[in-house]
Amino acid sequence: MDKKTVIDTLQQQGGFITTGEVKSRGEYEQLRRAIEDGTLVRLRNGVYVEMSALANNMIDVERIVPHGVLCLYSAFAHYGLSTQVPSATCIAIEAKRKVRLPDYPPIDLYYWKKENLEFGIIKKSISGYDVLITDMERTVCDAVKYRNKIGLDVCGEVIDNYLKKENRNISLLHEYAQKLRVKNILTTYLETRL
């Protein structure tokens, strides 16, 4: 199997491949050569990506951080809730979990309690990747919860843009706010904006 075939396979898989997916010794050798000549980049042990796939602002989260959830700035951008351009992909994982991150692409990890990873998370296809992401209401509640880290202006922008959405679900928003213990703060924000 020549390198061109390996690259074709990579493109069909969104530009990512693992050493476990390389079937023969010849394919492994072609993979190694592609890494040496810079066609492929090692993201982490056993996971490689084609350079053109890194140009896409979405990454295959499941391969890089298994069971990771897109959140905060990455979710704000996906739902059009903020004009802030994320400098890194924001991924939530369970607290105390250890994850080895690649040098590239930039990833900001957020460590959440296990119970906070059990609601408001959906599976969605984004740029050809199946990823876990916080739903829109959970994203707004996270903006309120992390308002001191992201800035009050960003939090306000997220809430304002959410209130303009026709598909918003205020009752679900309140339910999530209760679980995250930010209901009073969210209510105050909503009262000043409605």
Domain ranges of the chain: 3-55, 61-193
pLDDT tens column, 96-132: 898 888 777 788 999 999 999 999 999 998 777 788 9
Placement of tokens 């991924």 in the chain: 91
Lowest mean pLDDT among 19-33, 134-148, 157-171: 19-33
Lowest mean pLDDT among 23-32, 53-62, 107-116, 178-187: 53-62
Which H or E run includes 85?
none
* Confidence band of 177 (pLDDT split at 50, 70, 90): very high
* Confidence band of 159 (pLDDT split at 50, 70, 90): very high
Residue type, 174: H
Would the pLDDT of 70 be above 70? yes
* Confidence band of 84 (pLDDT split at 50, 70, 90): confident
Q: What is the mean pLDDT of residues 77-98?
A: 88
Q: What is the mean pLDDT of the chain?
A: 83
